[in-house]
Every structure is written in C-alpha cells, then in structure tokens.
Structure 1
Amino acid sequence: MRKTYGVCENDSFIVGFNGATIYVYDKGGKELAKFKDAPYCYRGCFRTGTNILAAKSTAGYLCFYDLDRLTLIKRVTVTTLGAQDEGFAFSPDGGYFINIEKPKVSYRTQIGVYETETFTRVRDYFSGDRKMVLDHIEYDNGEWYLLGFMRSDTEGAGYAYGFVGVWDFESGRLTAMKRMDVRRCEALCWQKDWEEHGFSEKFRETHSTLKYAKPERVSLTELFAML
C-alpha cells in the first residue's frame, strides 16, 4: 500500500488519503479503487456498522462513498472558503454526519449536521458565536464532547483559554465546560489531528509539534473527567 497522509479502516477496507487521490484497499492490501472527486482530501471516517465512507476536503467539500459498490454517493460543497481542517464524526446510530466547519470566515466555526439518507444538511449550531472556536468532536461513553478555544475578542485575534465541553445534540448547546491552558489545548488538538489521520507517519513528518509524540488516543471523556 502507498504511504499516505491520512488513513482510516473498518472491518472490510483500508482507505488512504494523499490529498489528490483517495485509495481504497481490501484488508489484504489489494488496491480496489481510486477516487479523485475533490482536492485536498486528507482524512475520512466510516458510518457506524457500514461501508459508507465520509471524506473531508480542506477546500470545503465533503464526499460520501459506498465502498460495497465502490461509487461516489454524493459530493457536498460546504463552502468555497479553504482551510476546513476541523473534526467530524458520524452519530453512533449512523443517522447523522456532524461536521465542524467555517463557511463564512476562516476564524469562525460552527457545527453542520447532515442526515445520512441523502446527506442533506438539516441543522446548524453555533453559527452566531463569534468567540468560540471548535476543533474536534467526539462521541464517547454516551456523550458528545467538543474540544476548542475561546477567543478574547470577536474579530479572530487572541486566545482566552482552551476548553473541553459536553455537547447536547438535540438542543445544540454546551451543557458543561472545563477550561484549560491554551498551550495544553493546542498540543491536544495536534494530537487529535494526528489521531484522526490514522497516526500516519507522513502526517507526523510534516508537523514538527509531533516530532516526539507517541501515537496515543486522546479520550475527551477522560480529559473532561481529569480537569
């Protein structure tokens, strides 16, 4: 298999992402397909209990694939604004795809929710919040968790503090938040980035902040409990 910038896998497939091309392999490493439906796709994830793959492009596209048929289901244009580097996840029941995105300006984030029958956008959360910057989302132990920063102003300059919070999917609100030092939060965000790229060596090689890091999962549940 090729050395790629990002990788994800389930019980049936291994998928590699190098930006220009998405490579699909069986579990034995045989190449089955190559997709070039959006530029700058570096990571993806599988819908729970299926072979449906979501791939995220930093250029503002989402691509959804059926790997049983090796076909593209749908390409969604989130925005024409680049630098879409934040986290994403399928809901545990597979009914929704949740994406952290920046559709308006590069320093303001929000959560977009897509139903997974037609991959149509159905909800937005935090679109009016000018200080909160979301970086990663994770479902664990029955709860959704968000990792991010709070800015000291509304124009994209200055960090006040980092945080990990419990997010209620139905209301769209943070129900609890714990603060942390900004530098610690930045380090955790880099570790989560590496985790979401499958702990690939190619990703670590291009990020000096991970030079001495170990490929260990950061549990936002455990982090929240420790703060």
Structure 2
Amino acid sequence: MLRLTTFLIFCLVFIGFEANAQLRLQYGNPSGKTATLGAKINFFIVADRSGSMSGEKMDKLNAALQDTWQKIAADPVLKQTAQVALIAFDDYATMERSPSTLTGNPQQPFLVATGGTNLTDALALVESAVTGNSQENVVIILSDGLPNDPSTALQAAQRLQSRAIVQAVAIGDAQGGGVDFSYMQNLVGQNNAAVLSGTKFKPLFSDIVDALRLHVNVLGGKILVPNYSFYIPNNNHWKK
C-alpha cells in the first residue's frame, strides 16, 4: 500500500511538470556536459534598448528586470547557481552586467532607449563570454525590430548556438503583431522563438525564472524528468 501511494504521488508530480510545458524550446547542450549539483549556470539576457523601445516598453522592461533580479536573489537554488549577465544594445552593445550570482547584489543597471539595433555586436559579446568556459549557458534575446544588419546577426546567432541554449522573444504590440517574427525564428530556430504581446515583461520573466529553476534542478540531478528539454512554461498570460 505504501509503495502504491508513493508511486501515485510521483505520477502526480510528474504530470504537473508536463502540464506546464506547453511551449518547449530546444535543449541546446551541444557539449553534452552534465552539471553537478551546485554547479554554476550562465544566464545571459540580451536586451534591445534601441529608440523603438522608448517610453512604456523600456519602463516596463526595467521594472521587470529588477523584479527578476530580486526573484533570483531570493531563490534558494538560483541565488547560488545562476550567474546572471545583462547585455544591452542600441547603436553599440555593452556588457551592463558580467555573469555573476545575485547574492547580496540584486540591483540591475537602468537601461535607456536610444539609437539603432546592433544585435550583431551584442551576440558577439555573448560569444566572447561563453567561449572556453565549461558551464551551461542560456541566452534569451529580447527585441522589437529587425537588427541593423540582419545577415551578420543571423551568422552570429548560428555560431552562438554551438555553445549555448539560445532563444528569442519578439516584442510585439498588444495583439502580438508589429514585429518580424519570421526573422526571429530564422535567428534561433522555429521552435525557439516566441512573441510577447505588449509590455507583459514581468509574467514573461516569471516564467523564465521558473524554467531556469527546473533546468538547474534537472542538470544537478535533483529532479528526474524523462525526455527533458529546456522550455519556458507557456501560461498564455504574456504570449499572444
């Protein structure tokens, strides 16, 4: 009887995880490495701060990033394992925060929207940061428009995918339109791109934090999920 009860509890937990996995994104672990319990994972946010992001978009993105920093810093798993980095791009790309844990330092740089959309240089900064390291690297690209040079950005994204999990969120209007989603799909792969509707950044990042927590636990062996792949849970509250 005790064994049957234990088995049923396991089934319910497993089904709960699967029910929350509606938007699956490719588990890009090209090196085949497995993290040990407590190992660090690099989490890169690549954020568009071009002129088209000015106003409410940038205000809401700054607020959501600060909220995300605080969530990770307060999480008993992620505060020790997630090394968070922020790269922002306009006419130029800058490493606003180098990969480091948020323990004791949950403040995030304040982004100001201006200029163009130099995604190529932003991805080159990420590539430079991940080259040669032995850690797991997760990269989330946020943008509301085409980059200055679409072809070189595409090439940079393809190179990066051999070293990291790379996915993109296209920032659309309130209906999820007004953005070149097909380019985003070409950039990171059809199943690795999604559309955010309007300025729902906080719900989006809340789901990303949940996905990171699960990813770290699976890599560390604390949670066993058959046929696991990295994904952002899709609760339909930020996606069109």
Q: Please indicate the TM-score interval, normalised by the length of the shorter structure.
A: under 0.3
Q: TM-score, normalised by structure 2?
A: 0.26
Higher relative contact order (CA 8 A, sep 6+): 2
Radius of gyration: which is bigger? 2
Structure with greater proportional strand content: 1
Structure with greater proportional helix content: 2
